[in-house]
Amino acid sequence: MDWFTASDYWLSRLVFQRALAAVYLVGFLTAALQFRALIGQRGMLPVPRFVERVPFKRAPSLFQLHYSDPFFAVCAWAGCAVSAALLAGLDSLLPLWGGMLLWLVPWALYLSIVNVGQTWYSFGWESLLLEVGFLAVFLGNDEVAPPLVVLFLLRWILFRVEFGAGLIKMRGDECWRKLTCLDHHHETQPMPGPLSWFFHHLPKPLHRVEVAANHFTQLVVPFLLFTPQPVATAAAALMIVTQLWLVLSGNFSWLNWITIVLALSAVEFPGDPPSVPDAPLWYEVVVLAVAALLVGLSYHPVRNMISRRQIMNRSFDPLHLVNTYGAFGSVGRVRYEVVVEGTADDVPREDSDWREYEFKGKPGDPRRWPRQFAPYHLRLDWMMWFAALSPAYAGSWFGALVERLLENDRDTLKLLRRSPFPPDGPPRYVRARLFRYRYTTWRELRETGACWERTYVREYLPPTRLAATAQRS
């Protein structure tokens, strides 16, 4: 038996690679469609301003060498094209080294985007996609059987994702230990989905079962990934079921989907493996050298994971090769939303004609039912959730957002569901107000048709207008 490869996982590799390519495609599509307003030359956090103060060694990126909006667009759409090619199986038609280079392209392009993405790309699933994508480079194609050490390292990532998330919960909010967090989480999560209202109204005993099952899946099941088959497959399947439950209950970008992709690599699918030659020596050397590097880089993530002061979602190297993960160490009991409004009146008063801007994903109109967007990531909507938690989270970009709304900036308005002002008639003033949102009851839903009930809390941003010198004619 070949010590280096595991031929029984040839179909697992195939499913994993195609699924990963699909996640890559979503990531690049998100970047291509949203970058101009977020990090473009006139974006809220422009890349050129960022690279002026951050050196290449801290944030390696193609855009450290050159940036323009057309160049970024070419890179993002090229990432879409390569991802689509990998999804179609082009890597299997190339020689081994060619397939590896093809998988390296989306990793390098997405790394370049994440490392200049600033606040908009500060989520754990960005690093997770990069870490998994880097390992995919060395998984091989139809010319060789899957390397055993790479399959092991994929399980090691999955272990850290799940076990780290479980530990951060047990060390964090006491409601996780009391099994009560889901009494609130479905209502206060960053972006509810179309079924979140129903999940929130499940009986409280079922919420306790949900939390207990989550603890079991994240704190016990990960260890079973390293046991012989079929136990490892059963463990991976249980994780997949748990992630699909989360997919139904909210919009968490591609976090759940990339975790499912990882779990697929641990599943031993039935089927006779094809006959392939032994792996070439150069390939074995490269894979083992990379494995040794990743094991060495695991020191800091593991140290963080077992620390009582565990932190969530941190990269310990600028290439995001080995990271630490975790989510929802604390759960909010009350939901707040920032409602942005504009008026065309010359003098802003409380009784002015204030019109509300509608976002695509975040709650706004109490009667508008949430939609499913994940795995597509609405970056502005997510950051608006953080802005409602504290103005400090929005300090670097919220003022720029207001300025773009006052200008009726076309790229910014594309991020929204609807602007209440015509293209040639921007508002004179924009303000923001903080509201408390809660899900309606079954009775309230029947009587009003509204899934939310909201109550005014306070002013978030007073009426603001462009400086006279900055207004466009």
The distance of Cα 462 from the centroid of its chain, to the nearest Å, equals 32
**Arithmetic mean of pLDDT over the chain:** 95
Asked whether residue 280 falls in the same domain as residue 340, the answer is: no
Asked whether residue 289 falls in the same domain as residue 348, the answer is: no
pLDDT in tens, 1-33: 478 999 999 999 999 999 999 999 999 999 999
Asked whether residue 93 falls in the same domain as residue 223, the answer is: yes
For position 157, what pLDDT does the model report? 97
Asked whether residue 273 falls in the same domain as residue 350, the answer is: no
Domain boundary, last residue among 285, 306, 327: 306
- Within a domain: 326: no
For position 471, what pLDDT does the model report? 46
Confidence check: pLDDT of 139 > 80: yes
For position 470, what pLDDT does the model report? 45
Asked whether residue 402 falls in the same domain as residue 262, the answer is: no
Asked whether residue 379 falls in the same domain as residue 231, the answer is: no
DSSP for 415-427, written as a single string: TEEE-SS-TT---
Asked whether residue 46 falls in the same domain as residue 115, the answer is: yes
Domain boundary, last residue among 267, 288, 306: 306
Confidence check: pLDDT of 400 > 50: yes
pTM for this prediction? 0.95
Domain that holds residue 47: 7-306
Q: Which helix (H) or strand (E) holds 433?
A: strand 429-439
Q: In what order do the strands lie in the sheet with 429-439?
A: 355-356, 335-343, 429-439, 452-464
- What residues does 418 pair with on adjacent strands? 358
- 125-161 b/e (C-beta count within 10 Å ≥ 16 → b): bbbbbbbbbbbbbbbbbbbbbbbbbbbebbbbbbbbb
**Average of pLDDT values for 156-168?**
95
Asked whether residue 251 falls in the same domain as residue 363, the answer is: no
- Within a domain: 144: yes
Q: How confident is the model at residue 314 (pLDDT cuts 50, 70, 90)?
A: confident
For position 468, what pLDDT does the model report? 53
Range from 185-189, 303-307, 404-408, 441-445 carrying the lowest mean pLDDT? 303-307
- Within a domain: 331: no
Domain boundary, last residue among 284, 306, 328: 306
Asked whether residue 110 falls in the same domain as residue 40, the answer is: yes
Q: Which two tokens stand for residue 277?
A: 């030659």
- Within a domain: 316: no
pLDDT in tens, 169-219: 999 999 999 999 999 999 999 999 999 999 999 999 999 999 999 999 999
- Within a domain: 355: yes
Asked whether residue 347 falls in the same domain as residue 268, the answer is: no
- Within a domain: 311: no
Q: Which helix (H) or strand (E) holds 457?
A: strand 452-464
Confidence check: pLDDT of 81 > 90: yes
Asked whether residue 134 falls in the same domain as residue 256, the answer is: yes
pLDDT in tens, 210-245: 999 999 999 999 999 999 999 999 999 999 999 999
Asked whether residue 75 falls in the same domain as residue 194, the answer is: yes
pLDDT in tens, 347-358: 999 999 999 999
Confidence check: pLDDT of 473 > 50: no
- Within a domain: 386: yes
Instruction: Identify whether the C-beta of residue 429 lies closer than 8 Å to the C-beta of residue 348.
Output: yes
Using DSSP, state whether 400 is helix, strand or coil: helix
Q: How confident is the model at residue 469 (pLDDT cuts 50, 70, 90)?
A: very low
Q: How confident is the model at residue 308 (pLDDT cuts 50, 70, 90)?
A: confident
What is the domain count for the chain? 2
**Average of pLDDT values for 286-310?**
93
- Within a domain: 103: yes
pLDDT in tens, 357-384: 999 999 999 999 999 999 999 999 999 9
